[in-house]
Amino acid sequence: MLQNKIALVTGGGTGIGAAVTQQFIAEGARVCIAGWRVEELDVEGLGIPKDSVILCPGDVSSAEDVQRMVDTTLGIAGKIDILVNNAAMDIFGGVTDLTVEQYRKVLDVNLTGPFLTMHTAIPKMIENGGGSIINMASLGGLRASAGACAYDSAKAGLIMLSQQVALEYGRLGIRCNALCPGATRTTMLEAAIGEVAKMRGIEIDAMMTKFTSPVPLRRMAEPSEIGRICCFLASDDSSFITGSALVADGGSSVVDCSGYALGA
């Protein structure tokens, strides 16, 4: 499906990013994994062949680091076919809880970071005849959730940024889609749920049950499920899909919260 494709995946060493990387490689791609902690990444532990991956440490909110990420990816085979903007962070808190610095940091990583990678990579993708960009947004970019003002605002902006890129560069062979997962079993999410459980004085298992109870499928997504969707969006099988905000949330977005309360 992705034979001989070259991909840059930010935040590709853990959680959804690691699942995306594994799926891409399984389908024949070679991947540059970029992010904060890639120097600590156990490639063999993830079952990734060493000749299929290259690591590039860096901060996506730094233009200098992003340039190095793109250059490193180009060093694999002189091209970039696929860009996955997955690197993200979250700081829990409402508008009056967060400092300005905290709010800006979340936006710098989650929104400015994808802008920088696309700004740097798109010209190279155009030189190669086009490519596919997948921006990892979130159900939080479409629906509000308590304590996520910075994260949700950034992800909402990322959806619109994806649509802008799809509009402006489609004629040049660039496809750009925003993928909007619901709750996915990652270390970052589990830590956030644990923090809320601690604040409320309840066990984390009880908080997990409460968290997933409104979801029609009654569970979180596994990272591998999101990875397979990314593989589809990266491939020619999705050749006429661009500018979409593809929701993968177990049905969460169809639930009317008032109606759910009646049946809970």
Q: Which candidate, 71, 45, 47, places its Cα nearest to that of 58?
A: 71
Give the residue among 12, 3, 16 at the shortest CA–CA distance from 56.
12
103 is catalytic: no
Q: From its phi and psi, is residue 173 left (phi > 0), alpha (psi between -120 and 50) or beta?
A: left
Nearest Cα to 248, choosing from 162, 258, 238, 228?
A: 228
Range 159-166, long-range pairs (CB < 8 A, 24+ positions): 159/135, 159/245, 161/111, 161/114, 161/115, 161/118, 161/135, 162/133, 162/135, 162/137, 162/243, 162/245, 163/243, 163/245, 165/118, 165/122, 165/133, 166/242, 166/243
Instruction: Give the active site residue among 103, 151, 169, 260.
Output: 151
Active site residues: 151
